[in-house]
Amino acid sequence: MSSLEKYQTELIEHGMTVGALKFGSFTLKSGRSSPYFFNAGLLASGPVLNTLCSAYASTISASLQAAAFGSAGLPEFDIIFGPAYKGIPFAAGTAMLLHRDHNIDVGFAYDRKEAKDHGEGGVMVGAPVKGKKVLVLDDVATAGTAIRGAIETVRKEGGEVVGAVLMLDRQEVGREGKSMIDEVETLVGGKGRVPTILKMKHLMTWLELHGKTQELQSMQEYWQQYGVKE
Ligand code: OMP
């Protein structure tokens, strides 16, 4: 059983308290019937935004440090991109906490769902990504469709995507039949380029530590069916 970092436990427990992380029976975008669902849209108060963005910032900082010491991890970047809509407050909050708590100064940018044809125009808002090294930030990834869309948006605007950070990697099969995380890592430069705050296995560790046997069993069954083996 893997252990949990403090920021991982805080996100799981705070997520459950506000009803964002639920155990039960849910139908996913993919049509799969899942024993859990994490709705990041409900991480919508000052305290829980603080918990989430602190966790993103810690995950990014640890990954940058790993790379600096020669392990797989994120290279340095200039801008965090948070796709509309949920990614917007998360990217802004994370950029602020990277500055305040980790001495890492980066810009942030986000897109509009509908392009604007007057004023400044275009789909992008915030720090210009053209010619910059960009980290894409997203919430949940299952097959990787949403994160691929965000990567594509930045590339179209001339930004170089050097990595991505996720709140939750559900550790399922991706669009090419391999693990979603391997597929996205390959897309943005290789191993270690997509650090995540939580993986499905961390949720299972938490359930085990708290004696939630029934939920754990459902998670194990789901894992057997759809999980990717590491
Ligand atoms: P992919 O695009 O397949 O990677 O799925 C990611 C999207 O699934 C997210 O952006 C959500 O819209 C949704 N989702 C969650 O938010 N939480 C979950 O626990 C599971 C899903 C999902 O439907 O797979």
For residue 15, the model assigns a pLDDT of 98
Specify the range with the lowest mean pLDDT, choosing from 122-131, 147-156, 172-181, 199-208.
172-181
Active site residue 116: yes
Q: What is the mean pLDDT of residues 134-163?
A: 97
Pocket of ligand 1 contains residue 141 by CB under 6 Å = yes
Q: How close is the Cα of 142 to the center of ligand 1, in Å?
A: 6
Residue 21: CA atoms inside 13 Å, Cβ hemisphere, count? Answer: 25
Between 167 and 176, the more confident residue is: 167
Query: Exactly one of 116, 156, 178, 210 is catalytic; which is it?
Result: 116
Q: Is the pLDDT of residue 182 over 90?
A: yes
Q: Is the pLDDT of residue 175 over 90?
A: no
Q: What's the chain's length in residues?
A: 230
In sequence order, which residues have a C-beta less than 8 Å from that of residue 176 and are 6 or more positions away?
183
Q: What is the mean pLDDT of residues 120-144?
A: 94
Q: Is the pLDDT of residue 198 over 80?
A: yes
Which of 13, 98, 23 minimizes the C-alpha distance to 51? 13
From CA 45, how far away is CA 87, in angstroms rounded?
15
Which of 90, 107, 82, 81 minimizes the C-alpha distance to 11? 90
Q: Which atom of ligand 1 is nearest to the CA of 28?
A: 23
**Cα-trace Rg, the chain:** 17
Strand 133-141 versus strand 79-82 pairing type: parallel
What is the rounded average pLDDT for all residues in the chain? 95
For residue 1, the model assigns a pLDDT of 58
